[in-house]
Amino acid sequence: MKVCGKMQNINDISIYKVSDEESLNEKTFEILNINPKEEIESCYDNKEKVYLLKLNVKEKMPIMFYTNIIFYDNINKTLPAGMDIGSKVLIDLSKFNMNLVSRKDFYINVLKNEFTNEIKLVQVYEYDIDIKK
C-alpha cells in the first residue's frame, strides 16, 4: 500500500503519548504530542505508574499537525481569533509498523499541595515507525 498525501513531516521528530498500556492500537488514528512535558503533566491523577510512549517519526512520513505555527510565540496577539498555538499531531497508525527500540524507567515527584507530594513511576517505551508496504 502506497502512502501519499500533502501532509508530511519535514524533519525527524519524536512524538509522545501517555497511555494506560505499553503500546498503542495500531488500527486507529491517535493524537500525540511533540512536547513530552505536556503529556507527563496530563497524567497527574491517582495512578502510581504511567506509560509514556515515544514514537520516532522520520522525514516525509504522513502526519498532520494541529496548527501550522507549532512553536510560534504569540506575545503580540497577532494570530487570528480561533488559531491557537498547539503541539498536538494526528497520525494514522494503521499505515505504520511499530518496532520497539528501548524501554526506560524514571520517577517524577508531583507536588499535590505545599505539604504533600507524590512519586510516580514513568515507563518509557520508544518505538521506531516505518511505513507499511
pLDDT at 64 over 90: no
Instruction: Tell me how crowded residue 96 is: count the other CB atoms within 10 A of its CB.
Output: 20
Q: How far, in Å, CA of 121 to CA of 114, rounded?
A: 21
Instruction: Tell whether 34 is covered by a domain.
Output: yes
Q: To the nearest whole percent, how much of the chain has pLDDT over 90?
A: 19
pLDDT given for residue 83 in this prediction = 58
pLDDT given for residue 17 in this prediction = 92
How does DSSP assign 45-85, residue by residue?
A: SS-SEEEEEEEEEPTT-B-EES-S-TT---TT--SPTT---
Whole-prediction pTM: 0.77
Read off the pLDDT of each residue in 36-52 and give the average, rounded to a whole number. Answer: 82
pLDDT at 53 over 70: yes
Instruction: Tell whether 79 is covered by a domain.
Output: yes
How many distinct structural domains can be found in the chain? 1
Q: Which residues span the domain enclosing 108?
A: 13-131
Instruction: Tell whether 8 is covered by a domain.
Output: no
- Residue with the bigger pLDDT between 88 and 64: it is 88
Instruction: Tell whether 45 is covered by a domain.
Output: yes
pLDDT given for residue 70 in this prediction = 47
Instruction: Tell whether 18 is covered by a domain.
Output: yes
pLDDT given for residue 42 in this prediction = 79
